[in-house]
Amino acid sequence: MDNSNFFGLLLPRARFYLWIILVLVIIITVYNWFIAIPGYVLLIFLIYHNFRSSYIRQKELTKYIENLTFNIDSATKDTLINFPLPLVVVELDGTIIWYNSFFREIFDGENLLENTINNFVEDLHPGNLVKGVERIYKDIEINGRSYIALGNFVKVDEKIDNRKYILMIYLIDNTELAEIKKRYVEEKTAVGILVIDNYDDLMQSMEDFRRPQMLAEIDRKIISWMSFSNGIIKKYERDRYIFACEVKYLKEFEEKKFEILDNVKEINIGNKIPVTLSLGFGINGRTLAENFSYAGASIDIALGRGGDHVVIKDGDKFNFYGGKTRELEKRTRVKARVIAYALRELIDQSPVVMIMGHENGDIDSLGAALGLYRIVKNREKEAFIVLNNSNPTIDNLVAKIEKSQEYEGMFLSRSEALDRINARTLLIVVDTHRPSFTECPELLKYTNQVVVIDHHRRGADFIQDAVLTYQETYASSTCELVTEILQYVEEKIKLNAIEAEALYAGIVIDTKNFTFKTGVRTFEAASFLRRQGVDTVSVKYLFQNDLDTYINISNVVRFAEIINDNIAISVCPQNIKNVQLIAAQAADQLLNLSGLVAAFVLSYGSNEVAISGRSLGDVNVQMILEKLGGGGHMTGAGAQLQGITIEEAKDRLKEAIVEYLDSVNKEQK
């Protein structure tokens, strides 16, 4: 250790030593003041020397700091002038007060001083750069080149009540990196699967000698549509194609709203029904195999939504296009028979069967559940229906069921169902395919034996890994699907009066008394139920409302707001009974008014706003409410919005309607 370091260690202790000397001198003074005099002289000298040394050191340190500050200021100024990147200094209002030569070169040597920077580059105005942050990082484009704008605030003056700042912005040219990134994104491979979704019905509607010509024309249309993409396409089944192209061409397909969907409908070679296609794409997967898996999931959703759809799966996000064609009723019951046999096997293998509909159940879900309950009981298995609470929509039916001793203990609450379920339990979900919409979503976690029976168009959120899924969007109701299954599970099945009436009521309510989504198979199902002893008058009692409910429905219709001259929006008053029933029936009633093609009614529940949407078919209410997280059918859909007010929900609904109408108008043009 050198001397300077040694004394440096002692200096901090100098005052401490002086205090010790003072104490010692005072002690000596007590015994002999004469001997203490030299001690006082020495102490005074040491105190003087300590203060003088401290003063000299402080003065040298101050001088060193001043020299260092001067050198730093000089270096800063030199760095600023010769900064190797484009640099500009602006006031907070955007006025340019200084820039270097590199920044000037970007604008071809133009004089920029005292001009406002947004006159040259709008994105560089402080108001566009600063959004509650002190440091700036933003990608911008100037004269066809890409830059990263970096910057920070510098305080140049401070007064009592005001602080003045300037903004220093420097640019990093990353044009090459941006182009490489763009090419990387655009040149990724998109994998697609294309399906002629009404192949069987199409072929049956034509004469034999015209079928090859039809298939050749479809091939020609498809190949012509995607020829500009330089992609590859291969037909691997009679009605399925697989193809791959770069993502940048997929964006062009999107901009043209996948015109192939409309192009194939123009084919007319003696076919009695139009050709419809469904396409599923997978992009941005980690591998081609994952993209193919995405495409498979997309095409399943497209077909589950009734066909005539394009679904793009980008990671966890889905985008939907098309869906303007009504679902075509399938003529054969082959699938219903196959599903019935498979369901029978699953029931026979399970000791306990639980049947669960959607939250806030309606007559369609409860009627379907009762039909399945009869199937399970006839197989001599233990069966339960999960129903946590009744509601005005099903109160009459639930009361009728509870009066019968045969159904005692049939209903389970959520907590009771969670206590009873195990890995061997067969869980049948009816009238919904979305986990979050079920009566008790937690049940899905405790068994891998799940069956889904539903008639709604499939959304992005659906129950995955179900052992059996029967989802037919052409069907009027889930009760229609269950009624068909009933006829194949046993040769001569006999329903109780309540079960037959519940199934019949489900069909009646979803078809609006056999008006909407009614096909031949709907009437065949109703006919079967009539033969089982349905009393239509008794069914009528299930739909009866009291006087207050009828008045509230009338008031909702009365105060409806009309937008776009043909769409009605109304709101149910708060704090009234049967609010969900009133909302649904008011939406139906609004469609009876002349000139209206769609109606939406909002109602406020427990910390959520529910929306019921109805349409005559010209407006796709499903696509509108999907923008708000809901779903359903073209002519009937719903949505629930959490944690917002009625007015906020109404504004969001209007935005979704306007967005939908704009997209339809663009397609028509």
**Longest Cα–Cα distance in the chain:** 140
Q: Dig out the tokens for 228 from the structure.
A: 């500009």
pLDDT value at residue 201: 80
Q: In what order do the strands lie in the sheet with 87-90?
A: 96-99, 87-90, 163-173, 145-158, 135-142
pLDDT value at residue 8: 45
Residue 132 has pLDDT above 80, yes or no: no
Cα separation, 495 vs 537, whole angstroms: 18
Residue 435 has pLDDT above 60, yes or no: yes
pLDDT value at residue 161: 38
258 confidence band (pLDDT: 50, 70, 90): confident
By the 8 A CB rule, do 618 and 596 touch? Answer: no
By the 8 A CB rule, do 275 and 200 touch? Answer: no
Averaged pLDDT for residues 610-614: 90
Classified as helix, coil or strand, 252 is helix
Q: Is the dihedral of CA 515, 520, 524, 527 positive or negative?
A: positive
Q: Dig out the tokens for 226 from the structure.
A: 């995607």
DSSP-derived pairing of the beta strands 631-632 and 636-642: antiparallel
| pLDDT tens digits, one per residue of 520-565 | 888 988 998 988 888 888 888 887 777 888 888 898 999 899 988 8
pLDDT value at residue 12: 46
Residue 598 has pLDDT above 70, yes or no: yes
Averaged pLDDT for residues 223-242: 89
Rounded mean pLDDT of the chain? 82
The length of the chain is: 669
Residue 332 has pLDDT above 70, yes or no: no
Report the amino acid identity of residue 669: K
pLDDT value at residue 66: 57
| pLDDT tens digits, one per residue of 340-365 | 888 988 898 899 999 999 888 889 99
191 confidence band (pLDDT: 50, 70, 90): very high
| pLDDT tens digits, one per residue of 474-511 | 788 899 999 999 988 887 788 888 999 999 999 988 88
451 confidence band (pLDDT: 50, 70, 90): very high
pLDDT value at residue 136: 75
| pLDDT tens digits, one per residue of 267-311 | 888 888 888 898 999 998 889 999 999 998 888 878 777 778 888
Any residues with CB less than 8 A from the CB of 110 and at least 6 apart, and which? 104, 120
What does the DSSP 8-state code read for residue 209?
G
DSSP-derived pairing of the beta strands 145-158 and 352-356: unpaired
Classified as helix, coil or strand, 421 is coil
Q: Which burial class, exposed, middle or buried, applies to 393 when counting CB atoms under 10 A from its CB (0-12, 13-18, 19+)?
A: buried
> What are the CB-based long-range contacts (under 8 Å, 24+) for 62-69?
none
pLDDT value at residue 80: 63
Range in 179-188, 330-339, 613-622 with the lowest mean pLDDT:
330-339
Range in 254-258, 375-379, 394-398 with the lowest mean pLDDT:
254-258
Q: Which burial class, exposed, middle or buried, applies to 116 when counting CB atoms under 10 A from its CB (0-12, 13-18, 19+)?
A: middle
Tell me the C-alpha to C-alpha distance, in Å, between residue 136 and each of 1, 76, 106, 152, 165: 48, 21, 20, 6, 15
324 confidence band (pLDDT: 50, 70, 90): low
Cα separation, 130 vs 138, whole angstroms: 10
Half-sphere exposure of 635 (CA within 13 A, CB side): 20
| pLDDT tens digits, one per residue of 6-42 | 444 444 456 777 777 778 878 888 777 777 788 788 8
Residue carrying structure tokens 């009734």: 306
Instruction: Pick the closest to residue 40 from 25, 19, 20, 23 (CA basis).
Output: 25
Residue environment code for 594-615, b if the CB has 16+ CB neighbours within 10 A, otherwise e: eebbbbbbbbbeeeebbbbbbb
Any residues with CB less than 8 A from the CB of 530 and at least 6 apart, and which? 504
pLDDT value at residue 69: 55
pLDDT value at residue 217: 92
pTM: 0.60
Half-sphere exposure of 89 (CA within 13 A, CB side): 14
